[in-house]
Structure 1
Amino acid sequence: MIGLRVSRRIAGAAMAAALLGVATGAWAQSAGYPNRPITLVLPFAAGSGTDTTTRLIAKELGTALNTTTVIDNKAGANGSIAASFVARAPADGYTLFVTTNTTHSANPYLLKNMTYDPIKDFTPIARTGDLPFMLVINPEIPANSVEELIALVKKNPGKYTYASGSSSAIVSGATFARLAGLDMLHVPYKSSPPAMTDVIAGRVSMMFTDVPTGLPHVNAKTLKALAVTTKYRSKIMPDLPTMDEAGVKGFDVTSWQGYLGPANLPKDIVVKLNAEIRKIVERPDIQKELAGRGMEAFSGTPEQFDAFLKEQLVVWKNLVEGAGIEKQ
């Protein structure tokens, strides 16, 4: 019996030492973070609003952390490909997700088969701001306001189409059609840039797009902007009315952007990343540059972002159900 007790003590001591070694190793890894490149996974294609704004922040983040940041665009399946990839990545801070309401607010109510859990599979790091959406149409369409567009579509039921390249665009288009009583065909795309190409070419009539993606084309007059989707006017395009002001009462769709990691990301890494991202986003020069790319930049704590994510699930549940969209 004595020998057995001794053996158990030795085994217990060995196990404790092993666990201490693992904990110490994890702490040492976090303490030296980062010591290699960080990959930022995006759910949309290059040239999208999320892509153009992330590249600016990513460059500054790499400088602040004294490392390289790599952008990995994984467009498709309404952002599910990218979200699932990050959800299954090691929780070591070297694979992060820069995403929007598409993957973390709307998909649970748009997709029948979810390959990830937007809350359980991720660690909130920092919200970086909002990307206002706007309604743009092909300039050949004889309408210069939302009111004129509605009248035109009603006179020609089934003739006009709307493209989408994200959940915000899907919900915005369906909400517009329902609230205004319009008969339009929905044409979905993997991302906003190719959808916009077809609207510019006249193959599709209109679309709701994020301001960063659409603004250059509006300025070049290859697209005509009619209104923003948010409840209040955008600081970036203050002269553009809201959909509500334009006569589509109750219309309010906001697209947010933020950084997340896989579930169980070490707290010290989260704190470090949040601090650096907030410093970058709160710099006046960065805010000005992001505004030029169509993003209203601001941030907050990981806890605030976590609470916001849970609130937005309720908001988007109501938006999707209110638009009468069935899960695909």
Structure 2
Amino acid sequence: MKQWISRTAFAVTAATLLAAPLSAMAQAWPTKQPIKFVAVFPPGGSVDQVARILAVPLSQQLGQNIIVENKGGASGSIGTAAVAAAPADGYTFAVVFDTHGVNPTLIPGMPFDTRKDLAPVSLIGTSAMVLATFSASEYKTFADVVAAAKAKKNVSYGSIGSGSLGHLAMALLSKSGGIDWQHIPYKGGGPLMTDAVAGHVPLSIGSVFVTKPHIDSGRLRPLAVTTSKRSDDLPNVPTVAESGFAGFDAPAWWAILAPAKTPPDVLKRMNEEVNKALKNPEIAKKLSAQGIDILGGTPESARVFIDKQIDIWAKVVKDNGIKAD
């Protein structure tokens, strides 16, 4: 009996000693050094804006500087790889876009495992994408577009690039609805909108953030949004689901991730602080101005959402033989 007690006491002591460094790290966090937010796209885009908007209140709440570092390339996978390989000490996080859910299938040979090497901290929010046409277009409704495509009238649309969520959403519609339309990839939202408002491309699909200024100016006509419910920014624009494709839902989204082995206490604290920042009226207003419907929630709810996105778009990429630019 004494030997059994001795062994048990040793095991408990060993476990306590092993846990102590992690506990101490969590308690000391984030006093050691500035926190880095890696925005996985270049300056000026929505990921950069989201990272910088959140960095301000989080820095104040945590009492530590937050530095935003842009590390773009390969649809966000280069910056994400850097975070996956970073020390799991709570001082490096990734701010990612919806391409994060597409890249595992679209980009072969990524140097990290999306599910195993990264830990979701929080889902920030989602946004509709908008299918739009130029003001003088013959298309007045989404039904007009579908009818023209089914009549083999060479309907084409532009997106921000091959493998973008807009491209995949239109490919999913094509497959499920037996619709024939041609994809024209652009190098980002700016070039796409330039050609869209000029009528050089009949249709465009892009985020509310990219598209709405041109809708407000009257140069683009919105036809449908890709989320399951109407966008608060475009309440009069019907959803694709309302337009004959029941259940269709293809939201753009943003999230914060950490290296997989980041201490659970640190992840929990950062999640709580992100949720607090998202409830700040000033921050909520700034994010809403980006066309983002704020969600927040637990790390687990973020994981469930991201895993579902990976599964949905993996099938679309494979079924349609989609390749990255």
Aligned pairs (5 A) from 1:1-328: 24=21, 27-28=24-25, 31-103=28-100, 105-153=101-149, 157-158=153-154, 160-165=156-161, 167-178=164-175, 179=177, 181-189=179-187, 191-321=188-318, 324-328=320-324
Q: How many residues align?
A: 309
How far the C-alpha of 1:276 sits from its partner, in A, is 0.7
**TM-score under structure 1 normalisation?**
0.81
What residue identity is the alignment partner of 1:251? F
Residues 30 and 91 in structure 2, CA contact (< 8 A), matched pair in contact too? no
Residues 39 and 96 in structure 1, CA contact (< 8 A), matched pair in contact too? yes
Residues 45 and 193 in structure 1, CA contact (< 8 A), matched pair in contact too? no
Distance 2:296 2:90 in 1: 19
Per-residue Cα deviation, 1:152-204 (whole angstroms, up to 9, x for no partner): 45667446342234631121122244435123133143x43443344334443
Distance 1:325 1:50 in 2: 27
Q: What residue ranges of structure 2 are gaps of 5+ in the alignment? A: 1-12
The worse-fitting range, judged by mean Cα deviation, of 21-30 and 111-120 is 21-30
Q: What residue ranges of structure 1 are gaps of 5+ in the alignment? A: 1-15
Alpha carbons of structure 1 residues 244 and 263: separation in structure 2 relative to 1, 3 Å:
same
Distance 1:118 1:202 in 2: 39
What residue identity is the alignment partner of 2:115? I
Residues 132 and 254 in structure 1, CA contact (< 8 A), matched pair in contact too? yes
Alpha carbons of structure 1 residues 204 and 81: separation in structure 2 relative to 1, 3 Å:
farther
Per-residue Cα deviation, 1:272-324 (whole angstroms, up to 9, x for no partner): 211110111123443333223211102112222223333333333344456x2
How far the C-alpha of 1:218 sits from its partner, in A, is 2.0
**TM-score under structure 2 normalisation?**
0.82
Aligned with 1:116: secondary structure? coil
Residues 174 and 325 in structure 1, CA contact (< 8 A), matched pair in contact too? no
Distance 2:18 2:117 in 1: 26
The answer for the alignment partner of 1:11 in structure 2 is: none
How far the C-alpha of 1:36 sits from its partner, in A, is 3.2
Distance 1:156 1:208 in 2: 20
Distance 1:43 1:32 in 2: 24
Residues 100 and 255 in structure 1, CA contact (< 8 A), matched pair in contact too? yes
Distance 1:28 1:159 in 2: 57
Distance 1:203 1:94 in 2: 46
Distance 2:90 2:204 in 1: 36
Alpha carbons of structure 1 residues 144 and 76: separation in structure 2 relative to 1, 3 Å:
farther
Distance 2:95 2:21 in 1: 30
Distance 2:147 2:314 in 1: 30
What residue identity is the alignment partner of 1:226? L
The answer for the alignment partner of 2:10 in structure 1 is: none
The answer for the alignment partner of 1:12 in structure 2 is: none
Distance 1:25 1:162 in 2: 49
Distance 1:43 1:198 in 2: 26
What residue identity is the alignment partner of 2:118? F
Distance 1:216 1:47 in 2: 16
The answer for the alignment partner of 2:4 in structure 1 is: none
Alpha carbons of structure 1 residues 93 and 214: separation in structure 2 relative to 1, 3 Å:
farther
Residues 135 and 221 in structure 2, CA contact (< 8 A), matched pair in contact too? yes
How far the C-alpha of 1:127 sits from its partner, in A, is 1.3
